[in-house]
Structure 1
Amino acid sequence: MERYGLIWSTGAKGRSPDNAAAEGFFGRMKTESVHPGHWEERPRGEVLALVGDCIRWHDHGRIKRSLGWMSLVQYRQSQGTAA
């Protein structure tokens, strides 16, 4: 992370509420987009496309009751925090 100037998006050690959301997302992503296929046997570009599709669905297509039955992007737009 430091080598490429990236910042961790999850919380610090022991900050389970922050980490739980990230862990949940990556768990769903693996289960729904990469597994049960053998992703390690797929070409890199194919795996990246699957991950990209999963992220787009997570942000734009997945509605949540806790967000008033809106997707994450719709909710952020309704709050004035997304373009």
Structure 2
Amino acid sequence: YGRWLFGIVDAPFRPNDGVSTKPGQLQWVTDITYIPTGEGWLYLAVIVDLCSRFAVGWAMSERVTDDLTLDALGMALARRRPAAGLVHHSDRGSQYASGDYQRLLEQHGIVCSMSRRGDCWDNAVAESFFATVKVELVHDAAWATRAAARTELFDYLELFYNGQRRHSALGYLSPRAFERRREQAALAT
């Protein structure tokens, strides 16, 4: 199974190896990025459903702390209530390896997967998500305050990205439309 870090196995699942859009294959990817503002950095943690590309959980903070990632995970758990066996993939950041984070995953029967040391390609979907956010929103913005950035990031994530942004991997549907279609197909069977 590879090397261990704090009892967590190296990337038992690598999301970029055969990404599936089949319902029932529950896989989340997560990461943290920083957003520049006139007041300093605003940190954004996001959890993305690998099947639908829906941003199921996210949180923002002035500092990178365990609470930042725990808040994003809390939102994802409240929104999705996943069945045991979901695979949660992250990099090897201390926030994801923390005891509190690992306990929360374990309490919900979530399988922890972490990238190999120094290999950003193991978390390519999360990295790509942030590249999209930065190209489509952040690079053209000059937010004076963190509050202004928070407002626009909320609108981008909830209204535009989840609700309207089309993805080639989803047959040019938005994450919300893809999930709606998937639910309708499941009801029809």
Deviation of the 1:29 alpha carbon: 1.1
Counterpart-to-counterpart distance in 2, 1:24 and 1:34: 14
CA RMSD of aligned residues (A): 2.9
* Structure 2 unaligned residues grouped into runs of 5+: 1-64, 74-87, 91-112, 184-189
Deviation of the 1:38 alpha carbon: 3.5
Counterpart-to-counterpart distance in 1, 2:153 and 2:168: 24
| 1:1-83 paired onto structure 2 within 5 Å | 2-3=66-67, 6=70, 7=73, 10=90, 11-14=113-116, 16-17=121-122, 19-39=123-143, 42-56=144-158, 57-80=160-183
Which amino acid in 2 is paired with 1:69? Y
* Aligned partner of residue 114 in structure 2, secondary structure: coil
* Aligned partner of residue 156 in structure 2, secondary structure: helix
Per chain length, whose mean CA-contact separation is higher, i.e. which structure has more relative contact order (CA < 8 Å, sep 6+)? Answer: 2
Counterpart-to-counterpart distance in 2, 1:68 and 1:77: 13
Counterpart-to-counterpart distance in 2, 1:4 and 1:66: 29
Deviation of the 1:31 alpha carbon: 2.4
TM-score by length of 1: 0.68
Using a 3 Å threshold, how does the CA distance of structure 1 residues 4 and 45 change in structure 2: closer, same or farther? closer
